[in-house]
Amino acid sequence: MGVEGKTYPPVTSTIEPDRVAAFARAIGADPAGGVPPTYAAVYSLGATAPQLFADPEAAVDFAKLLHADQEFEWDRHPESGETVTSQGRIVSDISRRGMRFLTFETRTTGEGGAGVCRSRTLFVIRA
């Protein structure tokens, strides 16, 4: 489909200590134990997915959306208070038997542009 390869503008966000602590408590991690690995759901995927969902060209029907799988790869884990930049891209968009399989990747970098995290998500949009 037409949106394969589409890249969204980079989003800069700050890793907020209070939110990190609340996130850690919700998953049963030590709130004083640093940024939990899957806080990438906030600073990486969570920063860019709203752009995908709001994009009329991508036309994702949020009500029929399933998060089918998730991969994170880290070069390092960010520190609380750090500012990071995330950029989302539609890797592939395949329709099969009425279902749509959309692979969405987000690359997060730190100040200076060095890699922090790569998030790769398979969204399935039901018919």
Partner 1 sequence: MKKAERAVTFTADQIAAYAEASGDRNPIHLDKEFARSVGLPGIIAHGMLQMGILATVASAAAGGGGRLRRLYCRFAGMVEPGDTVTFAAVEAGPGKLALTAVNQRGEAVLTKASAEYL
Classify 67 as helix, strand or coil. strand
**Residue carrying the six token digits 């990747």:** 105
In angstroms and rounded to an integer, the radius of gyration of the C-alpha atoms of the chain is 15
Q: Cβ closer to partner 1: 5 or 33?
A: 33
HSE on the CB side for 47, CA within 13 Å? 27
- Does 98 contact partner 1 by CB under 8 A? no
Classify 61 as helix, strand or coil. coil
Q: Cβ closer to partner 1: 22 or 59?
A: 22
d(CA 48, CA 89): 9
In the range 12-51, which residues lie near partner 1 by CB under 8 A?
A: 19, 22-23, 25-29, 33-34, 36-38, 41-42, 46
Site string for partner 1, 74-93 (x = CB under 8 A): x--x----------------
- Is the Cα dihedral 27, 32, 35, 36 positive or negative? negative
| Candidate list 12, 67, 94, 99; residue touching partner 1; CB under 8 A | 67
- Residues binding partner 1 (CB under 8 A): 19, 22-23, 25-29, 33-34, 36-38, 41-42, 46, 62-63, 66-74, 77
